[in-house]
Amino acid sequence: MGLYSRNDWILNSFFHPLSTREVLEKVEQKIKDHLKRLLPHTPPIILLDLDSTLYEVGHRTLAIMKEWNQAPRTQLSIQPTLDRVTLEHIGYSLADMAHKLGLKPDHPETHHALKELKSFWGDRFFTNDYLPHDKPYPGAAEYTQGLFELGAHLVYLTGREESKMHKVTVKNLKRDNFPWCEKRTILVMKPSVSIQDVVHKQNVKSLINKTGTLIASFENEPVNIMALSKVFPEAMHIFMDTVYSDNPTEAGNNLFRINSFKKEESFS
Ligand SMILES: [Mg+2]
């Protein structure tokens, strides 16, 4: 079985040929259908990833990068280039950003600067302190609120580490008007950094099975969506096509794909 990454994964996977609007409405319909069957002990559940699914985290990286670039100790020849970085240059990783900027990572000074920046970024990105920079994708909160109002239970399932990021994760969800209610929303964070994201995501199985029936998951990371689709073969798995790692995974054959939470937007 072949393993594919990024665009090759998309090209080799099967996504139902539906527009963004049709996918988003299908999830709503499935919630309604489930509730019509009057199964109060198995409420419909929606799994929602946070980073690069509900939230545009490029703003977080941008703020960290600007901070690093402004410090006097980093007077390097790449500074003028980094000065002009905008959100559009921020991909999944700093390596993506360097590529988009046309930087030459093999050049010794650039190599050194990027290494220093990466370490600076790594010390900050995964902390409460920089989470306030995150912004939800347009329509994400409204759509999620709609699912909640239909009667769905929401599980925010994130690879963010609980001890370092819980406080502002909750604060942001409330700030940005995502549903937050003791009885019908749960935030599942990583208890330890040593657990792989994909394992952490698979581990939600027991919680879901105890709580109700998984209707759909929303996720931007190919490896995670493939893992979830195996754990919950009956549910819809929706790939949020934003940014994602180049970690390879096998091709999917029963997936959905969106690039927005706004129903009027579709793939061109
Ligand atoms: Mg994500």
Question: Are both 250 and 142 inside the same structural domain?
Answer: yes
The pLDDT of residue 75: 58
Instruction: Please state the φ and ψ torsions of residue 3, each to the nearest 5 degrees.
Output: -115, 140
CA–CA separation, 145 vs 230, rounded Å?
Answer: 27
- Whether 265 is in a domain gets the answer no
Number of domains within the chain: 2
Sheet of 153-161: strand order equals: 185-190, 153-161, 44-48, 213-219, 236-240, 256-258
Residue 181 pLDDT level (bands cut at 50, 70, 90)? confident
Q: Give the pair of three-digit tokens for residue 56.
A: 């545009």
State the average pLDDT for the chain: 94
pTM: 0.95
Rounded distance from Cα 40 to ligand 1 centre (Å):
30
CA–CA separation, 72 vs 228, rounded Å?
Answer: 45
State the average pLDDT over residues 262-267. Answer: 75
State the average pLDDT over residues 181-201. Answer: 96
State the average pLDDT over residues 179-183. Answer: 92
Question: Are both 72 and 149 inside the same structural domain?
Answer: no
Residue 86 CB contacts under 8 Å (≥ 6 apart), including other chains? 62
**Residue ranges with CB less than 5 Å from ion ligand 1:** 49, 51-53, 220
CA–CA separation, 74 vs 113, rounded Å?
Answer: 8
Q: Identify whether the C-beta of residue 34 lies closer than 8 Å to the C-beta of residue 215.
A: yes
Residue 266 pLDDT level (bands cut at 50, 70, 90)? low
Rounded distance from Cα 81 to ligand 1 centre (Å):
28
Query: Domain of 172?
Result: 6-56+136-258
- Whether 263 is in a domain gets the answer no
Question: Are both 173 and 140 inside the same structural domain?
Answer: yes
| Residues written for the chain | 268
The pLDDT of residue 268: 47
Question: Are both 31 and 69 inside the same structural domain?
Answer: no
Q: Identify whether the C-beta of residue 54 lies closer than 8 Å to the C-beta of residue 258.
A: no
State the average pLDDT over residues 62-73. Answer: 88
Rounded distance from Cα 243 to ligand 1 centre (Å):
8
Task: Give the tens place of pLDDT for each residue, 9-54.
Answer: 999 999 999 999 999 999 999 999 999 987 667 999 999 999 999 9
CA–CA separation, 11 vs 4, rounded Å?
Answer: 9
- Whether 141 is in a domain gets the answer yes
Question: Are both 15 and 45 inside the same structural domain?
Answer: yes
Question: Are both 36 and 167 inside the same structural domain?
Answer: yes
- Whether 267 is in a domain gets the answer no
Given a cut of 70, is residue 148 above it in pLDDT? Answer: yes
Please report where in the chains the tokens 């929706």 appear, as a residue. Answer: 238
